[in-house]
Amino acid sequence: MDFLDEARIYVKAGDGGRGACSFRREKYVEFGGPDGGDGGRGGDVILRVKDGLNTLSEFRYKRQFKAEDGFSGSRKARFGAAGKALFVDVPINTQIFTADEDVMLVDMCAPDDAVVIAKGGGGGLGNIRFKSSTDRAPSTCTKGWLGQEMELLLKLKLFSDIGLLGLPNAGKSTLLSAITRSKTKIGNYPFTTLVPHLGVLKVGYEELVIADLPGLIEKASAGVGLGHRFLKHVERCRLLLHIIDSSQDVVTNYKVVRNEMHLYNEELLRKPELILLNKMDSISSAELELKIAEIRSVANCTVICCSAIDVASAYGIVDHLVRFVENAKLDSISKS
């Protein structure tokens, strides 16, 4: 099933059960009085993080979620049962917005996160609640309160160890397919990747999650192209592997991507970055050395090279990626 990183859903908590209007009817109890019980509380709608989910595809066809209503009260002062809560499972790093996207209600960024997003209505009152010194036989009872209901917008921000970024057709999908078992769409034209893809690189006992993100173009920070749908995923990548086509103007291409990241969120520029000059087989060794020198003049980070269409060449950068992640983890520990 295709990757889905946004979904609109409707949630409705259960309504409270109705209170009962009843009177004692026993042979030897004169003036038995009211004995109608209260209604039960409606069930809540609870959003919770579920391990193993990495997409919102579950909401492609089912978009309405309603918890169970509370049960009505009954005679002999018996209260109605509460409605069962409804649990809606979402992947980790799902953000919950109001339907108009103005307010973010919660960010589900921890493995055990759970939140009551819609509260069930309270149960109605039975007539036993209205008994008083002036009204010994009340026939009044109330309906249950309505449960909360709302439309929500779910947005998933992928979390990965390494995020692949660059201009369209830089070779991100080709590289991911070469070093992992991810089956991504590959073509010799821009925007072959329209949705993010995840791949797992296994090195010994280590597993690195790599995200192939849609290509970025100029003015993406203003929503051009895939715009914010690309940039939002960069926020949750631990590290960035910036892939640049070595046959093109590497400095200009590098600056375009970095500028869009700056305009969208300056914090993205502080993420550890590794530059990969791809398609090294399309230029001579002398040209490649010149390109490396050019990119190093504007970027203060490590520069590596490969040809992603050559599996052996692609695997040649695996050790660099492993050390890249290990060094970043050590830096985060030392800073904490």
Percent of the chain at pLDDT above 90?
37
Residue 159 has pLDDT above 80, yes or no: no
Task: Provide the residue ranges of all domains of the chain, joining segments of one domain with +.
Answer: 1-156, 160-335
Residue 304 CA to residue 256 CA, distance in Å, equals 20
For residue 9, give Cα distances in angstroms to 201, 240, 286: 34, 32, 56
> Strands 6-12 and 149-156: what pairing?
antiparallel
212-174-268 Cα angle (round to 5)? 30
Q: Identify the three-state secondary structure at position 219.
A: coil
- Predicted confidence at residue 20, as pLDDT, reads 94
What would the two tokens of residue 114 be? 């759970």
Which residue numbers belong to the known binding site? 166-173, 191-195, 212-215, 278-281, 307-309
- Predicted confidence at residue 171, as pLDDT, reads 83
Question: 114: exposed, middle or buried (C-beta count within 10 Å: 0-12, 13-18, 19+)?
Answer: middle
Cβ atoms of 279 and 245 within 8 Å: the answer is: yes
Greatest mean pLDDT among 113-122, 222-231, 268-277 lies in: 113-122
* Of residues 185 and 282, more confidently modeled: 282
Residue-wise pLDDT tens digits, 260-280: 777 877 777 888 889 999 999
- Predicted confidence at residue 5, as pLDDT, reads 74
Give me the CATH topology for the region 160-335. Rossmann fold (3.40.50)
Residue 125 has pLDDT above 90, yes or no: yes
Residue-wise pLDDT tens digits, 69-104: 999 999 888 999 999 999 999 988 888 999 888 888
Residue 282 CA to residue 291 CA, distance in Å, equals 12
- DSSP symbols for 312-323: HHHHTTHHHHHH
Q: Which of 120-129, 134-143, 198-207 has the lowest mean pLDDT?
A: 198-207
Which residue type occupies 62? K
Which residue numbers belong to the known binding site for GTP? 166-173, 191-195, 212-215, 278-281, 307-309
- Predicted confidence at residue 74, as pLDDT, reads 92
Rounded (to 5) percent helix, strand, coil in the chain: 25, 25, 50
Q: Which of 24-28, 173-177, 210-214, 286-290 has the lowest mean pLDDT?
A: 210-214
Which residue type occupies 197? H
* Of residues 20 and 155, more confidently modeled: 20
Helix (H) or strand (E) holding 287: helix 285-296
Count CA atoms within 13 Å of residue 283 on its CB side.
Answer: 20
Percent of the chain at pLDDT above 70?
85
CA 113 to chain centre: 12
* Of residues 26 and 71, more confidently modeled: 71
| Model confidence, pTM | 0.64
Cβ atoms of 265 and 235 within 8 Å: the answer is: yes
Average pLDDT of the chain?
83
Neighbours of 335 (CB within 10 A): 6
Neighbours of 1 (CB within 10 A): 7
What would the two tokens of residue 222 be? 């203003």
Residue 213 CA to residue 209 CA, distance in Å, equals 13
- Predicted confidence at residue 229, as pLDDT, reads 55
Query: For the structural domain made of 1-156, what CATH number should be given?
Result: 2.70.210.12
Residue 290 has pLDDT above 90, yes or no: yes
- Predicted confidence at residue 195, as pLDDT, reads 54
* Of residues 210 and 197, more confidently modeled: 210
Residue 322 CA to residue 328 CA, distance in Å, equals 10
